[in-house]
């Protein structure tokens, strides 16, 4: 007898014992008297003992039936308690949420909003894994992931966070020493800071021609190559050269004057989508739903994730009268 059949049979037995008839038990369960009789007969067969003495008018418990009834009531009570606990948990929105995201986005964007999440939902605890690899949410036991790029997976729900844009930046000190580029061709005379992905591929730099066509520069001969995007921003701040970084990484430094933009209007900012993904289930746990909705709200209010590209010109370095050679 399967577990689900066993549970139905136990309920039928307890209902019949309490009501004193199969007919009354059937009305209570919304099934036929024949189904109640069949359930109890199957239970007796599985146990190998008779639980009830049946006559045309009455039902009476055997000695084994009385012993089993006591334990059956405990089992049904435990099921009721378990269901009540789940309902109460849903009402309280509590539990543990596991999140996977990149180190850069996690440290700079996710961590600052966690205090607000915990303040709104004190019953939710959060575990964050910083990993730049694409993880298998279901196999690895994550409740949700915050990812970048065009990731298509029909088993996951994707909720858009923002469109990340890139910008070319350098420190004022570097530009004073090496000059301000006025065209992509000038970059051949500059120190470039490149990013290499985990796959080994170097991130290309895109530029728009006057006719709207896109050309790319492969910074293979960069002066400095780094794997972490936040490290590129730091390298630019240190005056090591020109870097292509996320606007959200650079904005605070642009606003402080520690970095300047170059080739705005010629450089293609790209279109890198960030999304929150979670398993496609008909019933999403309240703890996960509450976390997702809060994060979307918090990220929507983060100005650095939605900064207008056309305003990057406000932080452009002015060409110097006599630029020095960068090499």
Architecture in CATH of 95-164+272-305 = 3-Layer(aba) Sandwich (3.40)
Whats the size of the chain, residue-wise? 327
Q: Does the pLDDT of residue 326 top 70, yes or no?
A: no
Condensed to tens digits (0 to 9), the pLDDT of residues 22-70 reads: 888 888 888 998 998 899 999 899 899 999 988 777 888 999 989 998 8
Q: Does the pLDDT of residue 142 top 60, yes or no?
A: yes
Cβ atoms of 198 and 135 within 8 Å: the answer is no
SS3 assignment, position 248 = helix
CATH 3.40.190.290 in the chain, residue ranges: 166-270+308-315
Per-residue confidence (pLDDT) for residue 323, from 0 to 100: 47
Condensed to tens digits (0 to 9), the pLDDT of residues 97-137 reads: 999 998 889 998 999 999 999 999 999 999 999 987 777 88
CATH number attached to the domain at 166-270+308-315: 3.40.190.290
Condensed to tens digits (0 to 9), the pLDDT of residues 151-198 reads: 666 678 889 999 889 999 999 999 999 999 999 999 999 999 999 887
> Directed axis angle between helix 22-29 and helix 3-19, to 10°?
120
Per-residue confidence (pLDDT) for residue 325, from 0 to 100: 45
More confident residue, 75 or 87: 75
DSSP string, 231-272: HHHHHHHTTS-EEEEEHHHHHHHHHHTS-EE-STTTB----E
CATH 1.10.10.10 in the chain, residue ranges: 3-92
Per-residue confidence (pLDDT) for residue 327, from 0 to 100: 47
CATH number attached to the domain at 3-92: 1.10.10.10
Per-residue confidence (pLDDT) for residue 229, from 0 to 100: 87
Condensed to tens digits (0 to 9), the pLDDT of residues 200-250 reads: 888 999 999 888 889 998 888 899 999 888 899 999 999 999 999 999 999
Per-residue confidence (pLDDT) for residue 263, from 0 to 100: 94
Give the pTM: 0.65
Beta bridge partner(s), residue 227: none
More confident residue, 141 or 257: 257
SS3 assignment, position 165 = coil
Beta bridge partner(s), residue 145: 100, 277
Condensed to tens digits (0 to 9), the pLDDT of residues 261-319 reads: 999 999 999 888 899 999 876 668 889 999 999 999 999 999 889 999 889 999 998 77
SS3 assignment, position 180 = coil
Q: Does the pLDDT of residue 87 top 80, yes or no?
A: no
Per-residue confidence (pLDDT) for residue 89, from 0 to 100: 62
CATH 3.40.190.10 in the chain, residue ranges: 95-164+272-305
């Amino acid at each position: 007898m399967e577990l689900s059949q066993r549970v139905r049979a136990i309920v039928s037995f307890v209902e019949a014992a309490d009501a004193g008839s199969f007919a009354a038990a059937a009305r209570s369960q919304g099934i036929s008297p024949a189904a109640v009789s069949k359930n109890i007969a199957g239970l007796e067969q599985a146990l190998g003992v008779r639980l009830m003495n049946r006559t045309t008018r009455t039902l009476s418990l055997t000695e084994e039936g009385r012993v089993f009834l006591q334990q059956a009531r405990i089992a049904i009570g435990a099921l009721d308690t378990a269901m009540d606990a789940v309902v109460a948990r849903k009402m309280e929105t509590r539990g543990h949420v596991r999140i996977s995201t990149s180190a850069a986005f996690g440290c700079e964007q996710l961590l600052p909003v966690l205090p607000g999440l915990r303040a709104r939902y004190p019953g939710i605890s959060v575990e964050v894994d910083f990993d730049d690899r694409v993880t298998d949410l279901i196999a690895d036991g994550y409740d949700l992931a915050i990812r970048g790029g065009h990731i298509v997976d029909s088993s996951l729900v994707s909720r858009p966070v923002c469109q990340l844009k890139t910008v070319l930046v350098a420190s004022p000190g570097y530009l004073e020493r090496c000059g301000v580029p006025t065209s992509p061709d000038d970059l051949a005379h500059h120190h470039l800071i490149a990013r290499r992905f985990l796959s080994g591929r170097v991130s290309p730099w895109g530029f728009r021609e006057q006719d709207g066509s896109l050309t790319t520069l492969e910074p293979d001969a960069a002066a400095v190559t780094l794997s972490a995007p936040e490290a590129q921003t730091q390298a630019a701040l240190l005056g090591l050269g020109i870097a292509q970084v996320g606007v959200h990484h650079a904005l605070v430094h642009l606003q402080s004057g520690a970095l300047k933009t170059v080739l705005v209007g010629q450089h293609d900012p790209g279109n890198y989508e960030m999304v929150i993904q979670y398993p496609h289930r008909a019933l999403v746990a309240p703890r996960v739903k509450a976390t997702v909705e809060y994060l979307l709200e918090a990220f929507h209010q983060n100005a650095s994730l939605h900064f207008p590209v056309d305003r990057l010109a406000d932080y452009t370095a002015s060409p110097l009268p006599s630029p020095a050679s960068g090499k």
